[in-house]
Structure 1
């Protein structure tokens, strides 16, 4: 079953019409809110050049895992 998702809020305008398979190879600056300068910093610091690189980065993955575990371990709010 095909799934349709609107990613417009997550992407800069020139990248909104790309297929999901093409987005993984798009530059990090394609993400809304990531400037060219910030993308260059990610490239220099971590070798992150594409959306796929960002998603696969071990530091990013570790941070997400820690945040998820912390959320799951937090006691329910009263």
Structure 2
């Protein structure tokens, strides 16, 4: 099944139109707002790709906590 998603301004211009695999394999600076300096800092944490960033347990936990905070009274 084909899935289409518009990421708009969420990606660096060099990665607009790339496949999902290419984006996941790209350095974090493929995401709009992150730079090569961020790549260096994140690499120190073992994060070298967008996939690494998205699957990092600490970033994942932070995302879950933020999502939960949107559903509390």
| In structure 2, C-alpha distance between the alignment counterparts of 1:38 and 1:3, rounded to whole Å | 30
What is the aligned partner in structure 1 of residue 40 from structure 2? 40
| In structure 1, C-alpha distance between the alignment counterparts of 2:31 and 2:38, rounded to whole Å | 11
Asked if 1:27 is matched to 2:32, the reply is no
The structure 1 segments of at least 4 consecutive aligned residues displaced by more than 3 Å after TM superposition are: none
What is the aligned partner in structure 1 of residue 71 from structure 2? 72
Q: Indicate the structure (1 or 2) with the bigger Cα radius of gyration.
A: 1
CA deviation map 1:7-51 (0-9, x unaligned): 23111111112111221101101111001101211111x111100
TM-score of the superposed pair, with normalisation by structure 2: 0.88
| In structure 1, C-alpha distance between the alignment counterparts of 2:8 and 2:43, rounded to whole Å | 24
How many residues in Structure 1 have an aligned counterpart in Structure 2? Answer: 73
What is the aligned partner in structure 2 of residue 3 from structure 1? 3
SS in structure 2 of the partner of residue 72 of structure 1: coil
Greater Cα offset, 6-15 or 24-33? 6-15
